[in-house]
Amino acid sequence: MKKKIIAVALGVLMIATGCTKPSLEKAKEHFSDQEFNYSFQLPQGWRTQEDYQNLYNPAAVFGAEDQNSKSYMFIRTRKNSEIDHEKQIEQELKENYELDDLEVETFKSNERSVLLYKFQGLYNHEEVSIHDFYVVLNQRMVEFTFYSPANSNDTKQVELFKQSVTTLNEEKRTEAKTSESMEENTDLKIENDAVSFTLTGYKMITGTEEKRLLIIRYLFLNKQTEPSMPNIWNSLVTAKQDGQDLTVSSITESAEVSDLSYLLQVGKTAIGKDDLVETAVVYELVDSSMSDISFIFDQATFKDQAPIILPIKE
């Protein structure tokens, strides 16, 4: 009798375990492109990465890794009109990964079409299983690329990845008003044959440990054929106050500026030729000084460019 009870108990346990679906993180992750803000949920045990463009792709807008296995993912977006969906995607994947055949699956998620391509590839010189999801939205296409060990349980992995992808939400980005707008002035535009910067506004806020911070908003135009990062400003411009070089703050968001997180994210996303975006840089000011800020431009890049002087006020 005891054996029967144990057998039944084990059977119930196996059924319960077998029915347990892979879970997702409760907290939502957020990312943005030039037009929309997005959110979704990562698989449980995954964490976000900061250096995803260097790790995966210069056009990536988000990246994460599984803390329990050698699995990784990154996200890219593009205009829906830029691609002929299935036919062009298949052609691109075959060329990029040197493939002869692709396993393709299509399904619906929240009334959206989703394309899933499965194939083998290499990452960090190791063979991996690649699951490439394309979520077709009204104006954008969001691509989720997952790398996982080639010998992993494909069925469970696909189910987990699908759950994550189907949590995608989008919303049109709303433009926030700049606290202090800058008057139209040709002196606030700096350009050469490769790039153009136009200062559009600034705002002073208080950061951690009561540090005074200065947010500078600017438009960045890429004139060159190669993709360029809008935050190239940080390497081409030196900000000074009272003769001291100002440090670029590590702040990532602020309750005082609702779209700061988005603007900083845009700065880390490479854009193509003739693309124009608004982004921002945040500086730590010198103690309680209210002295003007001088922006000094790299003379090798912007020959004979005079400094821009910005009077600031509380």
pLDDT at 181 exceeding the cut of 70: no
Taking the CA atoms of the chain, what radius of gyration do you get in angstroms? 24
CA–CA separation, 174 and 37 (whole Å): 9
18-27, 216-225, 276-285: least confident range: 18-27
313's tokens: 């006020």
Which ranges in the chain are annotated with CATH 3.40.1000.10? 22-172
Global pTM reads 0.55
pLDDT in tens, 137-171: 988 899 999 999 987 667 888 899 999 999 999 87
CATH number of 180-310: 2.60.40.1240
Task: Give the CATH fold of the 22-172 domain.
Answer: Protein Transport Mog1p; Chain A (3.40.1000)
pLDDT band at 61 (very low <50, low <70, confident <90, very high): confident
User: Which segments of the chain belong to CATH 2.60.40.1240?
Assistant: 180-310
Q: Which residues share a beta bridge with 43? A: 24
Phi/psi region, residue 243 (left: phi>0; alpha: psi -120 to 50; beta: rest), is: left
When pLDDT is cut at 50, 70 and 90, the band that residue 7 belongs to is very low
* Region 167-186 average pLDDT: 55
Does 54 score more than 70 pLDDT? yes
